[in-house]
Amino acid sequence: MLVHKALLPFDQVPQLAKTDIAYATGDAQLKPFYVHAPQPDAFDEVIRLKSQGTFPRTDLVEVLRRQYANLPAKPEVSENIASLLLDSTFTVATAHQPSLLLGPLYFVYKALTTINLAVEVNKRAGGAQRIIPVFVLGSEDHDIEEVNKINLYGKQLVWNPETEGPTGVMDAKSLLPVLENLREILGESEPASALFQRIQTALAPAATFAEATRALLHEFLGKYGLVVIDMNDAVLKRHFIPVMQAELLEQPAFHLVNQTIAQLNQLGFKTQAAPREINLFYMNPGLRQRIVLEDGMFRVLQTNLVFSEAEIMAELDRHPERFSPNVVLRPLYQETILPNLAYVGGGGELAYWLERRSLFQHFQIAFPMLVRRNSVLWLDRDALKKLAKFGFSASRFFEDTESLVRQYIETHASGEVSLAQETTDLHRIYDHLAAKAVAIDPTLEKAVRAEETKSIAGLEQWAGRLLRAEKQKHEVVLNQMRALKEKLFPGNGLQERTDNFLPYILKYGDDFIDTLQQNLDPFDKGFVLLSDAD
């Protein structure tokens, strides 16, 4: 599948946050908050430092083999899992909550960026080390509203499991109504029926929502060797007990991360994920609630569970799986378990990793390289034809809709609609009048300026009337432009944060994913624009 690739500099993408742009463009203000610059030649040092650590490789492989037991074997994945037993094997990782049918497109982009990063580092390693791509499922999160819906062809599919607690452990059978709706939306064509059957077959072994997400990642990306791990596991949690114990007894995250956040705030960067006094949840079936310390006792909110210090330490030792790190501690948990060189994330994710460096130092856990995932705008042939018709480049469509409309009108109007020159001339006239008035009586200037304001307002009204008249003449084209803008930037946001990957698979087949994999460079210095060139 042929595509044309272009890059739009990150600082020309108004939809991105300040911290995201600053990190992606190497802003010097952020350098104190990370260790390794995101560039290929830094990996030699990352590997050297990571080689000094110890990791629970045997337990890691045991857990992965157990989690993959019911999935179709793929040699690329099996070999990568087995290689984790070797000290010369390292990972590059991304993470996300299990999401309905792999959620918005950026979910897939994260995985592909991680896959390509592993390829890049393996080339540099020259066989001395093996680097494998890992997708960590944040299956302990309980915010169902963040993961239970996708958009397909202008319709929204919603999953309602009608249970509470961590989303990852929810019953996969609750997805059956969603699949029936999916069948209806995809339609009865042969390609649609084949795609639906493929999804249904892939999901068949899944008992939980996390397993369903792993199954789909395995189905569509397993051939690239992507290893998916659910870290909500007692065997793995046991290795994190020392950090969780310190969090319960000393609360280092609250103090250290807040200090870092204050430093970032002083530089003008917003807080991404503020810590709590205790950054752990307590979990039981159907339950994930915060742990708080009140009057010397550890309480689980919204329950009657209360522990003394000795009791909660005993509970942690007996049942580490009942303790769940929140967004503040989760990066430490991941880096404790995985021999990980780099974390791949979106701008918001990397912003909260920047807030964690001092916490990593406190626990003497190596801080990974932070690599921004690829962001992509996909343009099919229909979109390209319309852009050519409107006379706009794809990069111009990142601007807001009304700005595009005004630019189109100013270019195609039958007469000049801008009154900018007249406004400048009018200001000049009133400046001269004010000068004369002041020379005669200084108190007259206020009256002159009041008249100036009224006159300028009148010009603005005329400018609006001229613009509206031209809009009426071009109403058909402008409506087409607005429709294309909504298609490429739903709700004036980014395509990758709204569209699901399934319509693209239905249209292009697996060529869509293969084309992305072939064209996404994890070190691209800009927002990727991919245009269908077939």
Contact in structure between 138 and 147 (CB atoms under 8 Å): no
- Pairwise CA distance, residues 330 & 324, whole Å: 9
For residue 224, give both structure tokens: 């690239």
Strands 376-379 and 149-152, bridge-based pairing: unpaired
- Pairwise CA distance, residues 344 & 93, whole Å: 6
Contact in structure between 271 and 18 (CB atoms under 8 Å): no
- Terminal Cα distance for the chain, rounded: 7
Q: Looking at the DSSP assignment, which residues form a beta bridge with residue 284?
A: 287
Q: Of the candidates 97, 175, 171, which has an alpha carbon nearest to the alpha carbon of residue 135?
A: 97
- Pairwise CA distance, residues 370 & 33, whole Å: 11
- The three-class DSSP label of residue 413 is coil
3-state secondary structure 367-403: CCEEEECCCEEEECHHHHHHHHHHCCCHHHHHCCHHH
Residue 85: C-alpha distances to residues 46, 58, 224, 429 (Å)? 20, 6, 20, 81
Contact in structure between 124 and 40 (CB atoms under 8 Å): yes
Q: Of the candidates 157, 156, 185, 161, which has an alpha carbon nearest to the alpha carbon of residue 172?
A: 161
In the prediction, which pLDDT does 432 show? 85
Q: Of the candidates 120, 170, 115, which has an alpha carbon nearest to the alpha carbon of residue 147?
A: 170
Reported pTM: 0.90
Span 223-272, pLDDT tens digits: 999 999 999 999 999 999 999 999 999 999 999 999 999 999 999 999 99
Amino acid identity of residue 532, one-letter, is: D
- Pairwise CA distance, residues 494 & 520, whole Å: 18
Span 431-442, pLDDT tens digits: 888 888 878 888
Q: Of the candidates 158, 173, 159, 163, which has an alpha carbon nearest to the alpha carbon of residue 142?
A: 163
- Pairwise CA distance, residues 528 & 374, whole Å: 7
The contacts of residue 297 (CB under 8 Å, 6+ apart) are 306, 307, 308
For residue 385, give both structure tokens: 């034809």
Q: Looking at the DSSP assignment, which residues form a beta bridge with residue 377?
A: 529
In the prediction, which pLDDT does 435 show? 86
**DSSP output for 283-303:** EETTEEEEEEEETTEEEETTS
Residues of the chain with pLDDT under 50: none
